[in-house]
A = this chain, B = another copy of it.
Amino acid sequence: MATVMPTSRLEAFSDGVLAVAITLLVLDLHVSDDKASGSLAHQIADQWPKFIAYLVSFLVIGVIWVNHHRVFALAARIDPVTMFVNLILLMSVSTIPFTTSAIAEFLRSGGNDSRLAVLLYGASMEGMSLSFSAVFYRLCRQGLLRRPVTRSQANRAILRFGAGNAIYPVGVLIGLLSPVAMLIIFGLLAAYYALNQTPIVPDADESGIEPEPDSVEGS
């Protein structure tokens, strides 16, 4: 029998990595009063790609956290494979400060530089999306969820959850033409997913049961 573990420390470590990654994004923003740098207004105007990229990546990581929260609220336990795939998910997210910096630097360069930066940024997103889907797939298939789901319920949920896997490549294709358009699409998507209340597992809300273990502390 595989070693199974509760989710609490996986959530704590994931919260930590996501919180650090999302906050490191700000290190890419800086201005200087060196004479050579020009006025502050000029520097701010000149760095607009950094501000857009910051905004989009912050929303993306924030929404990853929101969904990570939702998925692991459904999990009763985790096994070593889930732990490892979650590590790959965290690695994808940890690369976002780098790929955000790359897209911000080369957004206006045009040509191969812009396109490669778009591919790098898209790779972070797609790696994140695929590994997140794998985490969810594993939880469903290995019976690690808090409430058993039928095979068809799981299939529908996996399909819906995995839709992002197709959206990111489409965004990248658009990004090859216009990097800014890709960033706007990813930002809108993140905002949509943050607010969208689609239950990950159907019927979870209708059952009247509380999906989160910690709720016992609050009652």
Chain A positions within 8 Å of B, measured between CB atoms, are: 1-3, 5-13, 15-27, 29-33, 39-41, 44, 55, 58-59, 62-63, 65-66, 69-70, 73, 76-77, 80-81, 83-84, 87, 90-91, 94-95, 97-98, 101-102, 105-106, 109, 112-113, 116-117, 120, 146, 191, 194-197, 199, 204-205, 212-218
Contacts and interface: CB of A to CB of B under 8 A. Distances in A.
Q: What is the oligomeric copy number?
A: 4
Contacts of A105: 31-33, 40
A62 B40 contact: no
Most buried by B among A16, A39, A44, A76: A16
A217 B76 CA distance: 10
B112 A41 contact: yes
B15 A112 contact: no
Contacts of A70: 3, 5
A135 to B, nearest CB: 14
A69 B10 CA distance: 8
B20 A113 contact: no
Contact of A91 (B58, B76, B205): B58
B194 A116 contact: no
A99 to B, nearest CB: 9
Contacts of A41: 112-113, 116
